Amino acid sequence: MAIYGGGVFGPLVVNWYKFLQTAVRIPASPTLEIVSRVALDQTVFTPVHLTLFFSSMATMEGLMGDDGKEVGTEERVRKKLGDNWLQGLKANWRVWPGVQLVNFKFVPLEHRVLVVNLVSLGWNSYLSYLNQQGKG
């Protein structure tokens, strides 16, 4: 989890927030600007993040097939994504849009990752739980 957080998620989210700050500018409507950033975050970044998370976890942890034999990396990744991605996305959409509305409206750019990291303490526990559950 630390490898993923420090090597993948951290740099990715820092650059994503910088991109949103500069690319999504609607001076005539600050509220629309914030809602647009949240919408992009949830429809572009979130699916990519969940794909990277479950793929990384499957690659790093290994997985046994139904027959008790270890399966290849590609099959592990496909299984983890098939078992967990949609459920993770639905749960994400119940938690993160509200967090990001507050984050983008009230928190300066340089502190947004800190807010996400605080909420992620619980969120990553959920993703880890989901990652271990498999189907059902």
Secondary structure, 3-state, the chain:
CHHHHHHHHHHHHHHHHHHHHHHCCCCCCHHHHHHHHHHHHHHHHHHHHHHHHHHHHHHHHCCECCCCCECCHHHHHHHHHHHHHHHHHHHHHHHHHHHHHHHHHHCCHHHHHHHHHHHHHHHHHHHHHHHHHCCC
pTM of the model: 0.84
Q: In the chain, where are the structural domains located? A: 1-134
* pLDDT of 135 over the 60 cut: no
8 close to 56: Cβ distance less than 8 angstroms: yes
Q: Residue 136's pLDDT band (boundaries 50, 70, 90)?
A: very low
Tens digits of residue pLDDT in 42-98: 999 999 999 999 998 888 876 555 555 666 888 888 988 999 999 999 999 999 999
* Identity of residue 109: L
